[in-house]
Structure 1
Amino acid sequence: MRAQRLSHPAADLDDLLDSVVALQAQDVPAARLAARARGVRALDGPVVRTWAMRGTLHLLHERDLWVVDLLGPVFAAAGRRRRAALGLTDELCARALPALREVLADPLDRPALVARLAEVGIPLDPASQAPAHLLAFAAHSGLLWRGLDDTYRLLRADREPRRADDGVRELWRRYRRAYGPATPDDFAAWSGLPKRMARDLPEVVGEPAAPTGAVRLLGHFDPYLLGYRDRSAVLDPAHARLVQTGGGVLTPHVVVDGRVVAVWRRVRGRVGVTPFGDRPDIAEEIAEGVAEEVADLGRFLDADAASTRR
Structure 2
Amino acid sequence: MTLSDNDIRAVRTRAQRLDPPADDVPSVARSVAAIQAQSSPAARLAIRVRSRGLTAQDIDASREVARTWLMRKTLHLVPAADLRWLNRLFGPRNVKAGQGRRGQLGLTDELCERALQHLQDLLSGKALTRQEILDGLAAGGIALDAKSQAPAHLLAYAANRGLLCRGLDAGAEPTYVLLDEWLTEDDTPAEPRTELARRYLTAYGIATAEDFGAWSGLPLGLCREAFGALDLVPAGSGFALSETDLSAPPCPPRLLGAFDTYLLGYRDRDLLLDPAEAKRVNSGGGMIAPTVLVDGRIAGTWHTKRTAKQTKVVVEPFTTLSRSAITGLESEVDDYGRFLGEAAVLVI
Q: Matched residues in 2 for 1:232 and 1:82: separation?
A: 33
Q: Secondary structure at the match of 1:77?
A: helix
Structure 2 residue 336 is matched with structure 1 residue 297? yes
Q: Matched residues in 1 for 2:253 and 2:187: separation?
A: 41
- Aligned residue number for residue 37 of structure 2: 25
- Aligned residue number for residue 48 of structure 2: 36
Q: Cα distance 1:213–1:121, how it changes in 2: closer, same or farther (>3 A)?
A: closer
- Aligned residue number for residue 11 of structure 1: 23
1:6-31 deviation per Cα after TM superposition (whole angstroms, max 9, x unaligned): 11100211211221122211111111
- Aligned residue number for residue 166 of structure 1: 191
Identity level (%): 49
- Aligned residue number for residue 272 of structure 1: 314
Asked if the contact 2:29/2:65 (under 8 Å) is kept, the reply is: no
Q: Secondary structure at the match of 2:114?
A: helix
**Which residue, 117, 122, 136 being the options, matches 1:103?**
122
Letter in 2 for 1:274: E
Structure 2 residue 323 is matched with structure 1 residue 284? yes
- Aligned residue number for residue 271 of structure 2: 233
Q: Secondary structure at the match of 1:246?
A: coil
Asked if the contact 1:24/1:58 (under 8 Å) is kept, the reply is: yes
1:95-123 deviation per Cα after TM superposition (whole angstroms, max 9, x unaligned): 22222111112111111111211222333
Instruction: Report the CA distance between 1:217 and its aligned residue.
Output: 0.3
Letter in 2 for 1:191: S
- Aligned residue number for residue 185 of structure 1: 210
Q: Secondary structure at the match of 1:98?
A: helix
Q: Matched residues in 2 for 1:253 and 1:209: separation?
A: 25
Instruction: Report the CA distance between 1:153 and its aligned residue.
Output: 0.5
Q: Cα distance 1:161–1:19, how it changes in 2: closer, same or farther (>3 A)?
A: closer
Letter in 1 for 2:131: P
Letter in 2 for 1:64: D
Instruction: Report the CA distance between 1:159 and its aligned residue.
Output: 6.9
- Aligned residue number for residue 134 of structure 2: 114
Asked if the contact 1:13/1:45 (under 8 Å) is kept, the reply is: no
Letter in 1 for 2:73: G
Structure 2 residue 95 is matched with structure 1 residue 89? no
Instruction: Report the CA distance between 1:2 and its aligned residue.
Output: 1.0
Instruction: Report the CA distance between 1:131 and its aligned residue.
Output: 1.2
Structure 2 residue 237 is matched with structure 1 residue 211? no
Asked if the contact 1:188/1:195 (under 8 Å) is kept, the reply is: yes
**Which residue, 158, 174, 180 being the options, matches 1:156?**
180
Q: Matched residues in 2 for 1:221 and 1:194: separation?
A: 23
TM-score w.r.t. structure 2 length?
0.82
Higher relative contact order (CA 8 A, sep 6+): 2
**Which residue, 68, 76, 89 being the options, matches 1:58?**
76
Asked if the contact 1:34/1:218 (under 8 Å) is kept, the reply is: yes
Instruction: Report the CA distance between 1:275 and its aligned residue.
Output: 2.0
Letter in 2 for 1:20: V
Structure 2 residue 14 is matched with structure 1 residue 2? yes
- Off by >3 Å, runs of 4+ in structure 1: 157-163
Q: Secondary structure at the match of 1:265?
A: strand
Asked if the contact 1:33/1:218 (under 8 Å) is kept, the reply is: yes
Q: Matched residues in 1 for 2:123 and 2:336: separation?
A: 37
TM-score w.r.t. structure 1 length?
0.92
* Greater alpha carbon shift after TM alignment, 197-206 vs 128-137: 197-206
- Aligned residue number for residue 260 of structure 2: 222
**Count of aligned pairs:** 305
Matches within 5 A, 1:195-206: 195-200=220-225, 201-202=227-228, 203=232, 204-205=241-242, 206=244
Which residues of structure 2 form unaligned runs of 5+?
1-12, 233-240
- Aligned residue number for residue 124 of structure 1: 144
Q: Matched residues in 1 for 2:185 and 2:105: separation?
A: 31
Asked if the contact 1:211/1:257 (under 8 Å) is kept, the reply is: no
* Greater alpha carbon shift after TM alignment, 17-26 vs 205-214: 205-214
Q: Matched residues in 2 for 1:273 and 1:119: separation?
A: 50
Q: Matched residues in 2 for 1:127 and 1:294: separation?
A: 37
Asked if the contact 1:275/1:283 (under 8 Å) is kept, the reply is: no
Which residues of structure 1 form unaligned runs of 5+?
none
Structure 2 residue 99 is matched with structure 1 residue 80? yes
Structure 2 residue 161 is matched with structure 1 residue 141? yes
